[in-house]
């Protein structure tokens, strides 16, 4: 689970990323899930877009891909979304540390 500080950090990194995942009228397919999974493994942070011809919303697409790839939805704005998944073998993005909660 990402903290708001980590989410803000990832949003700032995503501004410079290219949109590499496009979902169109074909909707969600195994090929799109595999493409997202491979890209998350290689990059950790990916940006996707749902075209107007698609039969699902950007929020639905982002949540479905995140669920099937064990990623987290960083943000959804307009037709674009950003997903993050840490690569356990070769981490590329160093997230800000989460503060420890007092009890």
Angle (CA) 49 51 80, round 5°: 25
Please indicate whether residue 64 or residue 91 has the higher confidence score (pLDDT). Answer: 64
pLDDT digits (tens, 9 = 90+) for 30-44: 999 999 999 999 999
In what helix (H) or strand (E) does residue 10 lie, and over which residues does it extend?
Answer: helix 4-14
pLDDT digits (tens, 9 = 90+) for 54-87: 999 999 999 999 999 999 999 999 999 999 999 9
Confidence tier at 101 by pLDDT (50, 70, 90): low
Answer yes or no: is pLDDT of 97 > 90.
Answer: no
In which residue are the tokens 């980590």 written? 6
57 contacts: CB under 8 Å, gap ≥ 6:
50
Q: pTM of the predicted model, to two decimals?
A: 0.90
């Amino acid at each position: 689970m990402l903290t708001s500080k980590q989410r803000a950090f990832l949003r700032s990194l995503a501004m410079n990323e290219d949109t590499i995942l496009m979902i169109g009228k074909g909707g969600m397919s195994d090929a799109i899930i595999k493409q997202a999974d491979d890209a998350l493994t290689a990059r950790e942070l990916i940006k996707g877009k749902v075209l107007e011809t698609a039969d699902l919303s950007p929020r639905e697409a982002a949540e479905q891909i995140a669920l099937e790839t064990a990623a987290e939805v960083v943000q959804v704005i307009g037709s674009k979304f950003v997903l993050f998944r840490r690569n356990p073998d070769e981490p590329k993005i160093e997230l800000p540390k989460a503060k420890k909660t007092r009890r």
